[in-house]
Structure 1
Amino acid sequence: MSFGSASPHSPLVLALIFSPPLLADDLFLDSEPLPHVLTATRLKQSPAAVPGSMTVIDSELINASGARDISELLRLVPGMMVGNITGNQAAVNYHGTNASEARRMQVLIDGRSVYRAGLATVDWSDIPVAMEDIERIEVFRGPNTVSYGANALMAVVNIITRNTADSHGTRMKVTRGQRGIDDFYASQGVGWDGGDLRLSLSGQQDDGFDSDRKGADYRDSRRLNRLNLAVSQTLNEQQSIDWQLNAKDGSNQRPYTYRPVFSGITAAGNNSDVVAKDYAGSLRWNLDLNPDHSLYIQGSAQHWDRQQTWRACDAEVSFSPELTQLWQLNPNYTERLARNIERYLGPGAPAGTAAEQALANQVLDQWRNGARRTLCGDIDQSTRESRYDLELQDTLSLSDSLRLVSGLNYRYDRADSETYFNGTLDDTTWRAFGQLEWRATEHWLLQGGAMFEDTQLTGSSLTPRVAVNYLITPRHGLRAVYSEAIRSPDMFENNVNWSYRVTNLQPTAYGQSSARYFVKTRGPGNLEQEHMRSRELGYNGFFAEWGLAVDVKVFHDEITGMISEPLRNNQYIASNANSSRFTGAETQLDWHLGSADRLRLTYAYVDAQASNPLDAQQTARNSGSAGWLRNWGQGWNSALFYYGDDALNGYRFERVDTRIAKRISLGKASLELAGVLQQRLDNQPTTFVDNNYDERRVMYFSAELAF
């Protein structure tokens, strides 16, 4: 695959437009059942009828990729920008925007959001689901606030786990390899009259990147363990219940990045690792009133706990009440004074207002009188977030040509952090949504939907979507889509109350063993919602005779009112002053060549223009993937994947992954042995300058026993 400067144009689209009768006679007639996707509109639809672009990563692709993380699987999605903040912190964005946060993409597990509203992020490595429990991942590539509310601004990733009825038996798997890779998975599935259960235990660990920009060891390893329990129970012909319990416990190392503000102070150099614990539970009641009418009620509860403490050192004057007052008056003036305090000892306070100079001179006197001495204490940057969610959805076929899905949703979010919020902060969200699908004729499909959303901290919004699909046949469709979407500023962005209380100070600061650092950051409290307008033209088709599925789209997306500032304590001044524009084309091709071979290609050309350079750093103009899956017979199979982008945060990324596996029959049991080799073709850091490997290749092996 080569990355040129021009966007792709499929000859299939031109053929469909100019000679549909001929193609219909030759290629379109078949008796195979239509595939369906659900994530786009909450209605079961064929890919050709979807009002937008869909990518489905099925179980065969998941297994063949050898990927250990969900974020790595998303490299198979055209237009998805996948990088790393550190080894255990993936950065995933669709088309781009801020390089270190996934603020504008909704991520679901079986319909339950795992987007953390408190700190505006998704912890990709901490998602409490094992790769082996995933049946498929459906990605809606485009805004979908209409179906899933705020945060579905640019894309929706829906991780769908395996049906419990298909999980009977025992599976055990171990994975070992270079870079400290040490994973395990074990599951037990059972069934009874009307019910099924799957219990799985899994764990992951690795050492992350090897060295930072200076060649020093990089502290970013991770260790985690997960428990998942899924149960399905049929109550009668019309009713069933599904419930799940999930738990995750682990630790993520963090490089020690704290630097004292005042010159001459030596940092403590202790670790700042994160101990992460996640808990989630959900219960869903399904009711089929008749073949044309169904509804469900789903409730869920989630809790994220991140414990992070470290020891830091700075000058005693860091805790001066006068310096704190000065910061509240003028942060820039205060930082200039603190960074250059020795320079001002002779001439006195730098130029400023009378109040600023008076406070600055008091701080200088404290420095002269001994407040320059070094103090060390404990910093606690822990956070706890909780979410309670209740949703009702009704799906109704009004006639053979008219379908409606509608629903209500209530969500309560609570964030607790002494550092980020000076206590607790909560928010409530109410939603009402609807999507109407009208088959006007045999070929024309009209769709419209809207979401009304009201949040306690931000206010209300109404976002629409309209789409026209021309179905050449049920398997081939052209589409034109216009949609609007919003993203509400999250608690951190809008309402942060950020300061550090340092405890166990030795020696004491101004006679106190506990004090707050002079730097304090307050959110504006009046941020408005980001607003996106999206226009898309596309084609989706499946040539059953060839086993070939194709999707092509061209798009123009505009985001206004963007909140682009990085989340930093002493530099965070949030506003809605920024905007971005994304224009380009994407294509994906999935080709089953008989029963033995499968080829898969993706490509995205994205031209990004942003008022804030940070929002263009995570966009590669050219990116894509290529894969070849082969079943050699006699239990042997192989997969070869290429992933590449020309510049992500300024660094090129190219990698080839090879997986070879052998399945051995052991009576009623089977054993699969597999090896994966990942080879980097470039010699650059991964996304950020500190993410470096000593070797450009890594190997790991797995053994899986099923019976």
Structure 2
Amino acid sequence: MNRPSSNWRLFVVTALAGACLLGAASAHAQDLSDYSLEDLLTAESTSVAKRRQRVNDSPAAVTIITQEDILRSGAQSIPDLLRLVPGVEVGQIDSASTAVSVRGFSTRFANNLLVMIDGRSLYVSGLSGVLWDQQLVPLSDIERIEVVRGPGATLWGSNAVNGVINIITKDSIQTQGWQANAFISGDARNATLRYGGSGERLSYRAYVTARDLDGLTKADGQPWSSGSSAIQAGFRLDAVPNDRDTVTLQGDVQHGNFVADLLQTPPRVQQPDYYPFNGNFTGANVLARWSRQWSDQREFSLQAYYDLVRRRELGVDVTRALQDVDASLRLGSDRQELVLGLNYRRTTDSFESSDSFVSFSLPRQTTQWISGFVQEDVWLMPERLRLSIGTKAEYNTISGFALQPSIRLLARPSDAITLWAAASRAVRTPARFEQSVNVDLGMPAGSSMNPLPINMLARVQGQPSLSAERLDAFEIGARGSLGSALTYDIAAYYNRYHNLIGYEATGQSMSYSPAPVMILDYRSANIGWGRTLGLEASLTFSPLPGLRLQGTGSLQDLSFKTKDDTSISHAVAGLSPKFQSGLRASYDIGPDLEVDAWLRHVGALSSSDIPAYDDLDLRINYAVLPRLNLSLIGQNLLTERRIEFAQQLYPSPRSYVSRSVALRVSLDF
């Protein structure tokens, strides 16, 4: 199998495995008996109001994935962790790409979802999405992941349409000393080595992490040519020069290689089904943040970062350089609170094609974003009824000016019940890929994508005059507790989309030189509108000390209407499951032994003919020594293999995720 070079993995995995035999070190993960169900409601989120706020005080559908959730899930990537959240859709395409979305619109590049790490946007505007295989932050360094299901554009701006995912890493004072982690299974290997230290009013950490993945398989279990390997190193420095100020400086560098397969091929390639291609990526970022807090109700924050992403895929070299400066001010009293913010962002991206089947009418472009927001929270009845109202005013050089307002109401009829409702507007700016790309996708006769006896060529052309997509969203929800052993969280929503961008047919023709080919012409366009209805719920029950049960479920209905019969319907409607559910059980058998089980169901994807599936993950963790933990993890145990996602517009063959058993070793010393 043609695989990217990964000699470094042998050194890293061997070194960490050896380190784990050297000695004994810190207390093992917090057990369930130390974690009350009330913590689920009092845990703090910053993504809904751009300030620390208890989940129970948030007038939005928000879920927090804690460090305990991360450890006990057995997951080894951020997309796998997001499967824990109701309303989040995750489908692995191949070893180098994953589709992640919230409340529908599932594609490889989910263009309605804003994802951040410590306030640094991962959204690549040229592609309108996130490159998930390049997100290599060590899971052990994550304090929590805040997932807001629903619009967040009033605070975070364009493209925070269907949701916001904010990955927040630990303060370096929480990661002192050495830590080594290694994960080894039949198809994946990853390892992390970290060191943290501190001085007077100063703490720091540095890490290196490496990952190596085999490719997914065909339906018969035979491997594709795909696979990937990557390495990342980074640091974080936190300083507290006085009682009012905090300063953070952090950064990362990365490099990776991957091999993937094309199902559709350029016209000159005449093999019937697929061919492998090599790709690679590099990245670097640096972020600085200063905060000053005069009191519990007065705070100022200034953040700036630079983020560089380079990637070669499908014969195209993509470069994105982003500079961002953000300032926010919070002023409050016992009855009300005002949050103000200003942001400037400059993005330069380029697409250079070395292959004739992909080209760009505008290979290089610089875009600028200027925005300000204001949000005010007012307690109409102290501790019982609160109104939040605000708007984002934004100008960008892609689609012009937009206002993105929201109004939210929170009511607490009793200490055990919280009700909330919200109405919001959000926009998504067109990607430059949609505006300027020219793609010729060849589909040889008799291939998986073209069963006809004649070769076909689909020509897709971008359009620079696209309007921004717009969402009007309406939400209601309830959360609270029933006694000391049961908590619940329910949200319902109605979303209405305008100016949806898709592809419309413009004609067809025949070419007979050098061989007969049917040519189908398409162009990007604002093809119509859509609406979604949905319901999401989670229930947590702790009947015994050391035992926790958590059930989640989501139900949604999506429909899209195009302008005329010549338009291609928004095919992503059938790329989202109508129903998902999950049940997690965590039990502390003793002070040194933990058992976790995670059963889940994912509905069918109708437009790709992908069946529903049920699956089970198991984890057994044993604290061999106070600082040495061994975990045996079984993933995807109910089926030998399953397919999770396939999308016609992205030329990847149907690939299957296999059952696996893994060993995880964690040592603090």
TM-score in terms of structure 2 length: 0.82
Alignment correspondent of 2:511: none
Shift of 1:262: 5.6
The worse-fitting range, judged by mean Cα deviation, of 39-48 and 591-600 is 591-600
Aligned pairs (5 A) from 1:247-266:
247-257=253-263, 259-261=265-267
Q: CA RMSD in A?
A: 2.7
Letter in 2 for 1:703: V
Within-5 A mapping of 1:257-656: 257=263, 259-261=265-267, 271-308=276-313, 380-397=315-332, 399-419=333-353, 420-421=359-360, 423-442=363-382, 443-474=384-415, 476-496=417-437, 522-543=461-482, 545-565=483-503, 572-611=522-561, 612-648=569-605, 649-651=608-610, 652-656=612-616
* CA distance in 2 between partners of 1:474 and 1:274 (Å): 55
1: distance between equivalents of 2:533 and 2:590?
A: 44
- Paired residues of 2:459 and 2:522 also in contact (CA < 8 A): no
Query: For 2:287, what is the secondary structure of its paired residue?
Result: strand
CA contact (8 A) 1:81 1:93 kept: yes
Superposed, which structure 2 residues align to 1:3-402 within 5 Å?
Answer: 34-179=42-187, 181-211=188-218, 217-257=223-263, 259-261=265-267, 271-308=276-313, 380-397=315-332, 399-402=333-336
Structure 2 unaligned blocks of 5 or more: 1-37, 354-358, 442-456, 506-518, 562-568, 648-652
- Report if the CA contact (8 A) 1:81-1:618 is conserved: no
**Structure 1 gap ranges (5+):** 1-29, 310-379, 501-517
- Matched AA of 1:647: A
Q: CA 1:627 to 1:283, structure 2 compared with 1: closer, same or farther past 3 Å? A: same
Deviations along 1:470-504, whole A, 9 cap, x unmatched? 1123552111111111111122112436689xxxx
Aligned AA for 1:390? Answer: V
Flag the 1:298–1:417 CA change in 2: closer, same or farther, 3 A. Answer: same
Secondary structure at the counterpart of residue 39 of structure 1: coil
Alpha-carbon distance change, 490 to 693 in structure 1, aligned in 2, over 3 angstroms? closer
Instruction: Give the 3-state SS of the residue equivalent to 1:565 in structure 2.
Output: strand
Distance 1:465 1:499 in 2: 42
Cα distance, 1:215 vs. partner? Answer: 6.9
Q: Percent identity?
A: 23
Deviations 1:213-264 (A, max 9, x none): 687631221101111211101122211210111111111211144635269x
Give 3-state SS (helix, strand or coil) of 2:83's partner: helix
- Deviation per CA, 1:141-191, whole angstroms, max 9, x where unpaired? 101111111111000001111121111111101111112x11101110111
- C-alpha displacement at 1:98, in angstroms? 4.5
User: Secondary structure at 2:574's aligned position in 1?
Assistant: coil
Equivalent residue of 2:217, what SS?
Answer: coil
Tell me the CA shift for residue 135 of structure 1: 1.3
CA apart distance, 1:589: 1.6
The SS at the match of 1:152 is coil
Q: Sort the Cα spacing of 1:151 and 1:642 in 2 relative to 1 into closer, same or farther, 3 A.
A: same
Secondary structure, aligned partner of 2:502:
coil
Task: Flag the 1:396–1:416 CA change in 2: closer, same or farther, 3 A.
Answer: same
- The alpha carbon displacement at 1:424 in A equals 1.2
Distance 1:106 1:391, change over 3 A: same
CA distance in 2, matches of 1:454, 1:571: 33
- Matching of residue 698 in structure 1 with residue 660 in structure 2: yes
Superposition deviation, residue 681 in structure 1: 3.4
Contact 2:550–2:584 under 8 Å retained in 1? yes
2:419 partner amino acid: L
> Aligned residue for 2:18?
none
- Distance in 1 (alpha carbons) for counterparts of 2:430 and 2:261: 28
What is the distance in 1 between the residues matched to 2:220 and 2:41?
57
For 2:222 and 2:620, locate their aligned partners in 1 and report how far apart those are by CA, in whole Å.
34
Q: What is the CA deviation profile of residues 52-106 of structure 1, one whole-angstrom value per residue up to 9, with x for unaligned ones? A: 1111111111111110111111111111111122232110111211533211100
1:383 is displaced (CA, Å) by 1.1
> 1 CA distance for matches of 2:328 and 2:522?
40
Aligned letter for 2:242? N
SS of equivalent residue, structure 2 residue 433: helix
Query: TM-score, with normalisation over the residues of structure 1?
Result: 0.78
| Native 8 Å contact 1:307 1:383 kept in 2 | yes
Write the distance in 2 (CA, Å) between the matches of 1:632 and 1:519: 58
Quickly say closer, same or farther: Cα 1:409–1:570, change in 2 above 3 A: farther
AA of the residue aligned to 2:214:
D
Task: Go from structure 1 to structure 2 and tell me whether the alpha carbon gap of 1:586 and 1:108 turns closer, same or farther (over 3 Å shift).
Answer: same
The answer (yes or no) to whether the contact 2:47–2:166 under 8 Å persists in 1 is yes
Q: Is the 8 Å Cα contact of residues 96 and 617 (structure 1) preserved in structure 2?
A: no
After alignment, is 578-587 or 461-470 more displaced? 578-587
Equivalent position amino acid for 2:47 in 1: T
1:259-312 per-residue CA deviation (whole Å, 9 max, x = no partner) reads 35269x569987422111111110001111333211111000001111347xxx
Max Rg structure = 1
Which residue in the other structure is 1:686 paired with?
644
Cα deviation for residue 626 of structure 1 reads: 0.9
- Worse-matched range after superposition: 63-72 or 584-593: 584-593
Contact 2:493–2:534 (Cα < 8 Å) also in 1: yes
SS at match of 2:81: helix
Q: 1:387 to 1:587 in 2, by over 3 A?
A: same
Number of residue pairs aligned between Structure 1 and Structure 2:
582
Q: Is the 8 A contact 2:100 2:106 kept in 1?
A: no
The residue aligned with 2:510 is none
Structure 1 residues 692 and 459 mapped into 2: Cα distance closer, same or farther (>3 Å)? closer
Distance apart, 1:684 and its partner CA: 4.3
Task: Tell me if structure 2 keeps the 8 A contact 1:34–1:475.
Answer: no
> C-alpha displacement at 1:38, in angstroms?
1.3
Hey, what's the Cα distance between the residues in 1 that align with 2:570 and 2:222? 29
Q: Secondary structure at the match of 2:45?
A: coil
The separation in 2 between residues aligned to 1:120 and 1:272, in whole angstroms, is 23
Contact 1:463-1:484 at 8 Å conserved across structures: yes
Matched-pair contact (CA < 8 Å) for 2:182–2:665:
yes
* 2:613 is aligned with 1:658: no
2:629 partner amino acid: E
Q: Distance in 2 between matches of 1:521 and 1:210?
A: 29
Q: Secondary structure at 2:173's aligned position in 1?
A: helix
Equivalents in 2 of 1:32, 1:430: separation in Å? 36
CA contact (8 A) 1:47 1:540 kept: no
